[in-house]
Amino acid sequence: MIRTHEAGELRASDAGHQVTLAGWVARRRDHGGVVFIDLRDASGVAQVVLREEDLAHDLRAEFCVRVTGEVRRRPAGNENPELPTGDIEVSAGEIEVLSESAPLPFPVEGGGELNEDVRLRYRYLDIRRAEVAHGLRVRSRAAYLTADVMRAHRFVQVETPYLTRSTPEGARDFLVPVRLRPGNWYALPQSPQLFKQLLMVGGIERYYQLARCFRDEDFRADRQPEFTQIDIEMSFVSREDVLELAEELVGRLWSEIVGYQVPRPIPQMTYADAMSRFGSDKPDLRFGCELTDMTGYFAETGFGVFQAPHVGAVVMPGGAAQSRRELDGWQEWARSRGARGLAYVLLDAEGNVSSSGPVARHLSEAERSGLADAVGARSGDCVFFAAGTPAAARSLLGAARLEIGNRCGLIDRSAWAFTWVVDAPMFEEDGSGGWTAVHHPFTAPLPEWADKFPDSPESALADAYDIVCNGNEIGGGSIRIHRADMQRKVFDVIGLSAQEATSQFGFLLEAFKYGPPPHGGIAFGWDRVMALLAGRDTIRDVIAFPKAASGLDPLTGAPTPITPAQRREAGIDATPTPS
RNA sequence: GGUCCUGUAGAGCAGUUCGGAGUGCUCGCCACCCUGUCAAGGUGGAGGUCGCGGGUUCAAAUCCCGUCGGGACCGCCA
């Protein structure tokens, strides 16, 4: 090593020692006769003092330097209690510039908001900044912790292929041309789902992997075209076994990284409860404001808008004080989400329904007088309503609830609220009279639905579970189907013929002929978990080299066009020869 | 595929509503001064295709149309 010590580890006990440090010039404070340099390396920062001006004169921010000198206690009164190394400084005898830095495109020190594209274009400088550096270190610690937990339970870590077969369901695949088979294409895996089930057939019994997944879909703040899952699959287990392992992992991560003891067991609610109480399959339980079902209350109403299959309500505490402009803003907000609007009534100081607003005058006296009690609202509150199909109304109110939580400051930003959401439907309507799998077609029904799901697919429930933290789905999984007859029935429900099933999933069905064990598993959205643990709003801050929201990488310029020669060689335009 | 926000000096912003000389702020950069700072301080200076193209106008950062980049959301993401 070209250094003897790391800057962030020096303490008063090192005083008197001659040390050599190597790192970057974080800050320079030039007083003429005396110059202070904050020398930063991966371990932290230490102050270097120079009295010979020529040593320091040409140093600039982010120069990479080596410093040799003596560690000394700072003069009395000059200690800096803000810094771990604040009791000492290094009196430089020699400074060597290992490499110079051009003027910076943005400040490395000092934090502050920056545009994403300039951060990504100079990602290596962004990584020097404390926020991203912290995020990457959190991520690394979490990976080690996960390995600890999984190894303690004798899980086998297996790497599955990145070059695999395109499957028609789910997200769009990223495709890779194959030079040796012109016109044929690999797909990058959307997840290792099928491979991990094959590993169970293979008798591995306990599998886990930090798996990179690829989906060619549009972006969100919490989505990247390539992302990471902690992928887990276990044989001979029931749902409870999977949940227990997942809770141990989550408990370990939260306790060791943010010092929070996750209460266990993590509470469970059914999907049906989550939708009716919170209007979401990933409820944020850091605050209340639960939805109220008002369908019965308005069963006889004369108000046309409320003559709907479902009427729901959510209360905005203190919302009656909103200006007309703000209330109109909610209508705009609702329309931007595809709703026709968001009906509301205001409660006056006496707790009575105010006659102002476009809805109140359509309600009968009886409807108005009992309303506050029916929705649990108090004087000064605003009550929002949505009417329509249960799904649409609840979805709108669920989104309104989150908006209320944010606008009214009801969310405790330091809180952690975990829940399992279990028993999701197996199927949903596909919009053209048929059914499609909510999760994936290998998800087993709950035991009580094992025989009857084909007869009432609209209400059949799956043995599936999602883990939710602060309104984020951080993981999900299910017990899988392991019997060919049941799998056949699921394919029947979703309209997949034997021929289609064979052509799409034939290799899995073939494998399941050879004594497949009962099995189930879970996968965590690792990037989102890391963002939560690192306290960041976007997963881009916990990914070393993320793509911008356009899918482009401002650092490398990828993706790029290819040359005609590359195009020919890759066989992109070739017609596949029948095999 | 759709909606919204945004683009002004190396960085972060104000100026755009209601057109009038690139007008300004903070940081950074360059030079000089300065012996105890830790966001050091002081003096002076440099730095601009107001994203790009077109239009309206005597006159456009500002208004209109188009386009590109960044961000958020809806759809999508088994």
- As a rounded value in angstroms, the CA-to-C1' distance for A29 and B43 is 17
Nearest Cα to Cα of residue A394 among A476, A274, A488, A312: A312
- As a rounded value in angstroms, the CA-to-C1' distance for A329 and B7 is 26
Which pLDDT score, from 0 to 100, does residue A498 have? 87
The C-alpha atoms of residue A525 and residue A474 are separated, in whole angstroms, by: 5
Instruction: Tell me the per-residue pLDDT of A528-537, one tens digit each, with 9 for 90 and over.
Output: 999 999 999 8
- As a rounded value in angstroms, the CA-to-C1' distance for A174 and B52 is 32
The C-alpha atoms of residue A173 and residue A186 are separated, in whole angstroms, by: 9
Torsion sign over Cα A322, A328, A334, A340? positive
Q: Which nucleotide is nearest to A83 (CA to C1')?
A: B38
Q: Which nucleotide is nearest to A31 (CA to C1')?
A: B34
A286 within 8 A of A439, measured Cβ to Cβ: no
- As a rounded value in angstroms, the CA-to-C1' distance for A309 and B55 is 52
Instruction: Tell me the per-residue pLDDT of A490-512, one tens digit each, with 9 for 90 and over.
Output: 999 998 888 888 888 889 999 99
Count of C-beta atoms within a 10 Å radius of residue A358: 13
The C-alpha atoms of residue A291 and residue A101 are separated, in whole angstroms, by: 57
Nearest residue: Cα versus C1' of B6: A115
- As a rounded value in angstroms, the CA-to-C1' distance for A325 and B63 is 26
Interface ipTM: 0.91
Peptide bond just before A559 cis, omega within 30 deg = yes
β-partners of residue A64 are: A24, A99
Nearest residue: Cα versus C1' of B3: A336
- For A363-392, give one letter per residue: b (16+ CB within 10 A) or e: beeebbeebbebbebeeebbbbbbbbebeb
Return the DSSP state at A577.
Answer: P
Residues with pLDDT less than 50, chain A: none
Which pLDDT score, from 0 to 100, does residue A543 have? 95
- As a rounded value in angstroms, the CA-to-C1' distance for A553 and B14 is 31
Q: Which nucleotides of strand B lie under 7 Å from a protein CB?
A: 1, 3-4, 10-13, 27-30, 33-41, 69-78
Which pLDDT score, from 0 to 100, does residue A317 have? 95
Which pLDDT score, from 0 to 100, does residue A56 have? 79
Nearest Cα to Cα of residue A199 among A151, A238, A228, A233: A233
Which pLDDT score, from 0 to 100, does residue A326 have? 85
A71 within 8 A of A10, measured Cβ to Cβ: yes
Which pLDDT score, from 0 to 100, does residue A284 have? 96
Which pLDDT score, from 0 to 100, does residue A579 have? 59
Which pLDDT score, from 0 to 100, does residue A53 have? 66
